């Protein structure tokens, strides 16, 4: 994809970041997932994916899905790192709430990388952003967490991270329901397209799609 101006570069970065985030959540990424994440039509996504594949940023099989190539992943990791440093600064130092910090970081992440290198040093080289996601994923040690949709009913789970989304409403909903890092929950029931959990003493129902963005580790049985 030939980058003619900053707006086209930003669109490229947004696509690569969206694909990276969705890979973190779902593995192979479908066209409809990208469309839902970015709020654009599937036909627009397909058109852009053809360009990204042609220029070597992604590996795309329309019948299976999308994965980042090494070239695309390197660029995605750079923008993800900048975003997570920015939201850590906004949340920890400037005291914005966690959703505003995420939104404002999206506007900041296209600034030069040297700004974020300075912020990273200033913050003491944190390993995780406020949502629990690794700032430098390629250096991060796997702690064995997984989507809460993969735990069996009656399992006690400690939330380790919320996989970020462009969809502000989704993040607002999850945090308003108490889905904070290090919070304990109990998986009560899993059904077709939904999961029911107990958190802060109240029952909450999430769609399977929403719950997939929450990761945790098992801490025994409920009760």
In a domain, 169, yes or no: yes
> Hey, what are 102's tokens?
């995420």
Domain holding 216, by residue range, is: 146-221
In a domain, 58, yes or no: yes
Please tell me whether residues 77 and 63 are part of one structural domain.
no
Q: Residue with structure tokens 């929450």?
A: 214
How far is CA 58 from each of CA 32, 67, 69, 201, rounded to the nearest angstrom? 16, 6, 5, 44
Residues with Cβ within 8 Å of residue 59, at least 6 apart in sequence: 53, 66, 67, 68, 69
In a domain, 63, yes or no: yes
pLDDT digits (tens, 9 = 90+) for 100-129: 999 999 889 889 999 999 999 999 999 999
Please tell me whether residues 125 and 155 are part of one structural domain.
no
State what percent of residues in the chain have pLDDT above 90.
66
Task: Check residue 127 and report its DSSP letter.
Answer: S
Please tell me whether residues 84 and 121 are part of one structural domain.
yes
Please tell me whether residues 128 and 193 are part of one structural domain.
no
Model confidence at 189, pLDDT cuts 50, 70, 90, reads very high
> Hey, what are 56's tokens?
């070597």
Please tell me whether residues 95 and 151 are part of one structural domain.
no
CATH number of residue 130's parent domain: 1.10.10.10
pLDDT digits (tens, 9 = 90+) for 27-75: 889 998 899 888 889 899 999 999 999 999 999 888 888 999 999 999 9
Please tell me whether residues 106 and 150 are part of one structural domain.
no
pLDDT digits (tens, 9 = 90+) for 17-40: 999 988 888 888 999 889 988 888
Domain stops at, among 90, 119, 139:
139
């Amino acid at each position: 994809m030939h980058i003619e101006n900053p707006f086209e570069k930003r669109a490229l970065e947004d696509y690569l970041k969206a694909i990276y985030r969705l890979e973190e959540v779902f593995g192979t990424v479908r066209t409809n997932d990208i469309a839902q994440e970015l709020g654009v039509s599937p036909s627009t996504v397909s058109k852009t994916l053809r360009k990204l594949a042609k220029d070597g940023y992604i590996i795309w099989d329309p019948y299976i899905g999308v994965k980042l190539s090494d070239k695309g992943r390197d660029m995605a990791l750079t923008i993800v790192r900048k975003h997570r440093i920015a939201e850590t600064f906004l949340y920890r130092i400037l005291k914005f709430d966690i959703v505003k910090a995420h939104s404002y970081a999206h506007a900041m992440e296209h600034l030069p990388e040297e700004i974020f290198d300075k912020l990273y040093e200033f913050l003491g080289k944190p390993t995780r952003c406020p949502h629990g996601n690794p700032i430098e994923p390629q250096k991060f040690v796997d702690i064995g967490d997984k989507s809460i949709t993969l735990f069996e009913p009656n399992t006690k789970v400690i939330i380790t991270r919320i996989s970020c989304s462009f969809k502000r409403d989704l993040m607002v909903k999850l945090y308003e329901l108490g889905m904070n890092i290090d919070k304990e929950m109990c998986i009560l029931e899993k059904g077709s397209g939904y999961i029911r959990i107990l958190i802060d003493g109240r029952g909450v129902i999430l769609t399977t799609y929403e719950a997939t963005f929450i990761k945790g580790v098992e801490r025994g049985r409920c009760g």
